[in-house]
Chain A
Amino acid sequence: MTPAGSLLTADGLRKVYGPTTALDGADFSIHPGEIVAVMGPSGSGKSTLLHCLAGIVRPDAGEITYNGQRLTDMNDTALSALRRSEFGFVFQFGQLVPELTCVENVALPLRLNGAKRKDAERTALTWMERLEVDDVRDKRPGQASGGQGQRVAVARALVTSPRVLFADEPTGALDSLNGERVMELLTDAARSTNAAVVLVTHETRVAAYSDREIVVRDGKSRDMERLV
């Protein structure tokens, strides 16, 4: 069943890796502009849930629907196109291309979608200003601090104005102060564009930036909002 008005839903997802059951009937739904935290102990299946929702991993059973389209029916090419045009991604680390400058990194998704370099970098710089990292535009990622690098990564994830932003432990490698700044800027930017955010985190202080929380335990999901 798809909750009314949902942008992305999953129903009864199951995923097994060898002897390990990562997902065992997990459900999920998110509305446009909503920020949903996915929490749970290590190994509970929360990252697998994110990967399935984003079309990176195919579930063994269950259905995923994005904006009326069944992801589970799409081939790899269609999934890849969907990810590039509709989704943005932020991970814990290792996501920027070290040989490119920060502005080139942010502009990269636009360039891959066919935009001209000058136009792409102009748009990229606007996002870098919003994320307060325009001062590192010409530096390579290795020359920026961890907090700056992560904000560059957020700018890159949002530069194509995705409808869903997937963030997997986006502050996991940062100290409290930098982590909070990243979360403030990330959530402000997402809200201003009405992007939905799927936020996987094990930190409750990070989850407190969300509108709603899903807890994954032993591959099963629980919508905590229904308990309050």
Chain B
Amino acid sequence: MVCIVLRMSIGHTLLGLLESGPRHGYDLKRAFDEKFGHDKPLHYGQVYSTMSRLLKNGLVEVDGIEAGEGPERKRYAITEAGITDVQRWLATPEKPEPYLQSTLYTKVVLALLTHRDAADILDTQRAEHLRLMRILTDRKRRGDLADQLICDHALFHLEADLRWLELTSARLGKLAKEVLPG
């Protein structure tokens, strides 16, 4: 599970969550944990260090600061450059590898939350997977038995991913009802 969370791009996910409107760091953490954290919630430190990085890179800006009894609370808003960055991340297929589902799940949910085409993300990934399967199939045909066995192992894993992609594609309507407010 640690591996899965680390592979997910926390920065892009937080950026995507900001698309629906400015939020404080605490709200961002709560939204992240609710939608994607499952049994591995974010640490506050991760949220603040990520937001500092995004701020430095011009992907978010400080929308307001509230002074209270404790430390001051910054409210963050996504910038145009941030929106472009999220769009680019969603549209770029992931490199097919183990534990990919968590990243893809995040992308699909973010696409639904930000009213982008989630089916497109799944299809783009599907095409990327099949492209790799073609390369492996070709290598298998030309190789010896060792090549065949190694390629087969990778092919079976990619096939499992593709089945997940197809199933998720068929369940997008149901997922949208669950993740979209109201």
With A41-B166, A41-B170, A204-B159 in contact, is A228–B127 under 8 Å at CB?
Answer: yes
Does A224 belong to the interface (CB within 8 Å)? Answer: yes
Does B35 belong to the interface (CB within 8 Å)? Answer: no
In the A-B complex, the 10 residue pairs with the smallest Cβ-Cβ separation, listed nearest first, are: A208-B133, A208-B137, A224-B127, A227-B127, A228-B127, A227-B124, A204-B162, A204-B159, A208-B134, A227-B123
Secondary structure call for the B interface: helix
Residues of A within 8 A of B (CB): 41, 184, 204-205, 207-211, 213, 215, 217, 222, 224-225, 227-228
Q: A204-B129, A228-B127 are in contact. List 5 more A-B contacts (CB 8 A).
A: A208-B133, A209-B137, A224-B127, A225-B127, A227-B123
User: Nearest residue in B to A228 (C-beta to C-beta)?
Assistant: B127
Number of cross-chain contacts by CB at 8 Å? 47
In the assembled complex, the Cα of A41 lies from the Cα of B163 at a distance in Å of 11
Can you list 19 A-B pairs, Cβ within 8 angstroms, ordered by A?
Answer: A204-B158, A205-B133, A205-B159, A207-B130, A207-B133, A208-B130, A208-B133, A208-B137, A209-B134, A211-B134, A213-B127, A215-B123, A224-B127, A227-B123, A227-B124, A227-B126, A227-B127, A228-B124, A228-B131
Task: Please state if B123 and A224 are interface contacts (CB–CB under 8 Å).
Answer: yes
In the assembled complex, the Cα of A91 lies from the Cα of B137 at a distance in Å of 23
Task: Please state if A224 and B130 are interface contacts (CB–CB under 8 Å).
Answer: yes
In the assembled complex, the Cα of A184 lies from the Cα of B140 at a distance in Å of 11
Q: How far is the CB of A34 from chain B (nearest CB, A)?
A: 13
In the assembled complex, the Cα of A154 lies from the Cα of B162 at a distance in Å of 28
Q: How far is the CB of B138 from chain A (nearest CB, A)?
A: 9
Residues of B within 8 A of A (CB): 93, 120, 123-124, 126-131, 133-134, 136-137, 141, 155, 158-159, 162-163, 166, 169-170
Secondary structure call for the A interface: mixed
In the assembled complex, the Cα of A205 lies from the Cα of B133 at a distance in Å of 7
With A41-B170, A184-B141, A228-B93 in contact, is A204–B127 under 8 Å at CB?
Answer: no
Q: How far is the CB of B28 from chain A (nearest CB, A)?
A: 31
Which residues does chain A contribute within 8 Å of B166, judged by CB atoms?
41
Which residues does chain A contribute within 8 Å of B136, judged by CB atoms?
208
Which residues does chain A contribute within 8 Å of B158, judged by CB atoms?
204
Q: How far is the CB of B156 from chain A (nearest CB, A)?
A: 8
User: Nearest residue in B to A37 (C-beta to C-beta)?
Assistant: B130
In the assembled complex, the Cα of A64 lies from the Cα of B126 at a distance in Å of 28
Which residues does chain B contribute within 8 Å of A211, judged by CB atoms?
134
Q: How far is the CB of A210 from chain B (nearest CB, A)?
A: 8
Which residues does chain A contribute within 8 Å of B131, judged by CB atoms?
228
In the assembled complex, the Cα of A17 lies from the Cα of B136 at a distance in Å of 40
Task: Please state if A228 and B128 are interface contacts (CB–CB under 8 Å).
Answer: yes
Which residues does chain B contribute within 8 Å of A210, judged by CB atoms?
134
Task: Please state if A222 and B123 are interface contacts (CB–CB under 8 Å).
Answer: yes
In the assembled complex, the Cα of A210 lies from the Cα of B127 at a distance in Å of 12
In the assembled complex, the Cα of A209 lies from the Cα of B128 at a distance in Å of 15
Which residues does chain A contribute within 8 Å of B170, judged by CB atoms?
41
Most buried by A among B133, B136, B155, B163: B133
Which residues does chain A contribute within 8 Å of B163, judged by CB atoms?
204
Task: Please state if A204 and B133 are interface contacts (CB–CB under 8 Å).
Answer: yes
User: Nearest residue in B to A40 (C-beta to C-beta)?
Assistant: B166
In the assembled complex, the Cα of A80 lies from the Cα of B129 at a distance in Å of 39
